[in-house]
Amino acid sequence: MNRLADRVTLITGGAAGIGKATAERFAEEGARVVVCDLNVAAGEAVAATLGPEASFFRVDIADRRAVQAWVEAVVARYGRIDVLVNNAGVLRDGLLVRFKDGELVKQMPEEDFDLVVAVNLKGVFNCAQAVAPVMIRQGGGVILNATSVVGLDGNFGQTNYVATKAGVIGMTRVWARELGRHGIRVNAVAPGFTLTEMVQQMPEHILEGMVARTPIGRMGQPRDIANAYLFLASDEAGFITGEVLRVDGGIVVGT
């Protein structure tokens, strides 16, 4: 099929993991894919595999001016932006506070909280705000945001990450209301445990625990998430907006 023929698609954090899989999946369906990331070598390598219409930009999505310059460069080259996939994100896990023998021994560093918020929440805001005027002027588009099952359920040791992913859900629903009259659909995807390069480096017993908590009996593959993005970006999802699609194998997130 050619469900995204010639649609200009921006994918943040597209150098690896779910972002890379999404770039590949969208290119298979005819999209002209624009990848951004901080990892230049990996990002350029991904773009090189996607054909002559693909391109890579080094962008720090936490930097509003850098995002605006990226969007302007994309419009100058491609003439339009049809889909934005806000995929980029970071982790800096830690307990809110850790006590031992009645004494405070550690707490989540403020800089870890601020970094995760800057990338995972403000970065999504930056990209959507820069792209929305382009989509409004051209008469429509699709914005897709990466949240997580932990943004819905919470998770031990992830105050900062969960806060951002819950915030992304809230922004998704606001933007669906604000931008719908302009022909722009806004949805979010909430992956469960997904076997990205980062996750593959975890100890075997941790991976086994993830599988044990997933009723379908396996971890997600990046392509599973990419397929969800593809559906939501396509005309098949033309009457879906303001939704959060869980792609999690039925996982139960607990303590």
* pLDDT at residue 255 greater than cutoff 70: no
Q: pLDDT band at residue 204, thresholds of 50, 70 and 90?
A: confident
φ and ψ at residue 206, rounded to 5 degrees: -70, -45
Residue that has been written with the tokens 């624009």 in this structure:
34
Digit-coded pLDDT (tens) for 100-126? 999 999 999 999 999 999 999 999 999
pLDDT of residue 205: 84
- Position 253 scores a pLDDT of 64
- Does the pLDDT value for residue 129 go beyond 80? yes
Annotated catalytic residue 161: yes
Tens-digit pLDDT profile for residues 59-104: 999 999 999 999 999 999 999 999 999 999 999 999 999 999 999 9
CA dihedral 183, 35, 174, 90 (to 10 degrees): 170
Mean pLDDT of 144-167: 94
Res. 237: pLDDT tops 70? yes
What's the whole-number mean pLDDT along residues 218-244? Answer: 97
Residue 215: which residues within 8 A CB-CB, separation 6 or more? 249, 250, 251, 252
Q: What CA–CA distance (Å, rounded) separates 188 from 144?
A: 5
The fold of the 8-247 domain, in CATH, is Rossmann fold (3.40.50)
Amino acid 254: pLDDT: 57
- Annotated active-site residue in 57, 161, 175, 193: 161
Confidence of residue 212 (pLDDT cuts 50, 70, 90): confident
Per the listing, tokens 């693909």 go with 54
Tell me which residue has tokens 């919470």: 154
Dump pLDDT digits (tens) for 3-38: 999 999 999 999 999 999 999 999 999 999 999 999
Predicted TM-score of the model (pTM): 0.95
Residues 50 and 22 sit within 8 Å (Cβ to Cβ): no
pLDDT of residue 251: 87
**Cα dihedral 217→223→226→227 (10° resolution):** -70
Report domain extents, the chain.
8-247
